[in-house]
């Protein structure tokens, strides 16, 4: 019999995973597959839809199919070539890595740019980098909308464009993250990642997203060894968010600080904000895109540095 090509098991899993992921995202996006001969590490380009209308907000997806995802600790680790990572960083739109667990019908996602920003730049000398995909960033086939945090990242990054072909090295966010190491701080992960996303969210949705429970007055408090986060309720919605960075305590009221570096810890690009007021103990920013007032401060002598988000006092 004439010899014929064979489809490997990994190819079959990969195709099945891509089809499954596309069938989920097509409910919320215009999903454009990238032809294999033009695939340099991106499987889909997606445009978020609002009902029947396009929004112009684009993001990329690299899909990794697994017969059954192997969870180690609180994440799934996927090795990615450095050449592929550099290609993702050149993109004008954010690129997400999504692991498809075919056996259990689960999807895990990660935004590798934030992880790379927390590394020493020597990763460029490696052949591959192990990218962690948090198991907390999980959704199923029957979702009613795109993951809130994923959309928040798209809203924040889709308008950013690379300069001189060097996305990570020229963005103020990358600089801020580098400067944060002077404080012994590194990029915070979920649920402390981009805390402005919780503003205006219903208490029930916020509790589900951050993995916390509302107290008697409806506020939600989440803690780790690095941060203390308060989501303050007004009625059934979050109207104020405050994060204390524990490792900055104790801090003196008379000691200057680099607020851009502190924002970088929360994966917030200072270049997207207006620095409105600057005092020794309090820096005020305005986020005109989201109509928020952001205060970076130490609230009392010996307190840690904290970042507060409010819509009530925007431009006040």
**Under 8 Å between Cβ of 177 and 118:** yes
Q: Is residue 2 part of a domain?
A: no
221 in the same domain as 125: no
- Which element (helix H / strand E) includes 32? strand 29-33
Residue-range definition of the domain harbouring residue 235: 171-310
Write the CB contacts of 164 (distance below 8 Å, at least 6 apart in sequence): 170
Please indicate, yes or no, whether residues 102 and 189 belong to a single structural domain of this protein: no
Average pLDDT, stretch 30-36?
83
Give the contacts of 288 (CB within 8 A, at least 6 positions apart).
Answer: 274
Same domain, yes or no: 152 and 15: yes
DSSP class of residue 34 equals P
Q: Are 51 and 116 within one domain?
A: yes
pLDDT (0 to 100) of residue 271: 77
Is 38 among the domain residues? Answer: yes
Q: Residues 90, 214: one domain?
A: no
**19/148 same-domain check:** yes
Same domain flag for 127 and 180: no
Same domain, 70 and 110: yes
Give the angle subtended at the CA of 174 by the CAs of 182 and 138, to the nearest 5°.
105
Most confident among 63-77, 176-190, 197-211 (mean pLDDT): 197-211
User: Is 4 a member of any domain?
Assistant: no
Q: Could you count the other beta carbons within 10 Å of the beta carbon of residue 57?
A: 19
Domain assignment of residue 3, yes or no: no
Judge whether 57 lies within some domain.
Answer: yes
pLDDT at 16: 78
CA distance 306 to 296: 6
Report pLDDT for 171: 41
> Looking at the structure, do residues 57 and 154 belong to the same domain, yes or no?
yes
Please list the residues that pair with 285 across neighbouring strands: 275, 294
Q: Which residues contact 120 (CB under 8 A, 6 or more apart)?
A: none
Cβ atoms of residues 157 and 94 within 8 Å: yes
Rounded Cα gap, residues 169 and 153, in angstroms: 19
1 found inside a domain:
no
Based on the fold, state whether residues 142 and 42 are members of the same structural domain: yes
Q: How many domains does the structure of the chain reveal?
A: 2
- The residue from 138, 161, 184 where one domain ends is 161
Span 259-307, pLDDT tens digits: 888 998 888 888 788 888 888 889 999 988 888 999 999 888 888 999 9
Domain boundary among 112, 136, 161: 161
* Residue 159: HSE in the Cβ half-sphere, 13 Å Cα cutoff: 8
Closest CA to 113 of 267, 232, 245: 267
Q: Do both 261 and 207 map to the same domain?
A: yes
Alpha-carbon gap, residue 95 to 167, rounded angstroms = 12
CA 43 to chain centre: 20
Domain-embedded: residue 128: yes
Kindly report, residue by residue over 113-163, the tens digit of the pLDDT: 888 877 777 888 899 999 999 888 999 888 888 988 888 888 766 544 444
Note whether residue 316 is domain-resident: no
Read off the pTM: 0.53
Which of 139, 161, 183 terminates a domain? The answer is 161
User: When comparing pLDDT for 63 and 173, which is higher?
Assistant: 63
Structure tokens at 172: 């103020």
How far, in Å, CA of 156 to CA of 172, rounded?
A: 13
CATH number at residue 17: 3.40.1350.10
The verdict on 13 and 154 lying in the same domain is yes
């Amino acid at each position: 019999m004439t010899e014929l090509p064979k489809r490997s098991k990994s190819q079959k899993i990969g195709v099945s995973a891509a089809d499954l992921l596309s069938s989920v995202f097509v409910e919320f996006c215009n999903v454009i597959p990238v032809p294999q001969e033009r695939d340099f590490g991106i499987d889909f380009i997606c445009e978020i839809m609002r009902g029947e209308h396009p929004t112009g907000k684009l993001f990329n997806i690299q899909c990794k199919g697994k017969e059954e995802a192997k969870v180690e600790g609180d994440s799934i680790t996927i090795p990615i070539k450095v050449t592929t990572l550099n290609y993702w960083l050149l993109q004008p739109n954010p690129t997400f890595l999504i692991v498809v667990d075919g056996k259990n019908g689960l999807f895990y996602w990660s935004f590798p740019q934030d992880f790379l920003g927390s590394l020493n730049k020597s990763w460029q000398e490696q052949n591959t980098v192990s990218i962690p995909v948090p198991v907390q960033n999980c959704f199923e086939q029957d979702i009613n909308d795109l993951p809130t945090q994923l959309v928040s990242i798209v809203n924040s990054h889709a308008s950013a464009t690379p300069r001189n072909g060097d996305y990570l090295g020229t963005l103020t966010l990358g600089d801020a993250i580098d400067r944060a190491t002077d404080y012994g701080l590194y990029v915070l992960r979920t649920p402390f990642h981009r805390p402005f996303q919780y503003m205006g969210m219903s208490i029930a949705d916020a509790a589900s997203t951050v993995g916390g429970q509302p107290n008697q007055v409806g506020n939600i408090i989440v803690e780790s060894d690095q941060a203390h986060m308060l989501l303050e309720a007004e009625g059934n919605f979050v109207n104020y968010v405050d994060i204390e960075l524990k490792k900055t305590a104790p801090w003196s009221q008379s000691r200057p600080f680099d607020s851009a570096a502190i924002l970088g810890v929360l994966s917030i690009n200072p270049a997207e904000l207006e620095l409105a007021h600057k005092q020794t103990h309090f820096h005020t920013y305005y986020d005109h895109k989201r109509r928020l007032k952001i205060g970076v401060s130490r609230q009392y002598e010996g307190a840690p540095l904290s970042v507060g988000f409010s819509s009530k006092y925007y431009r006040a």
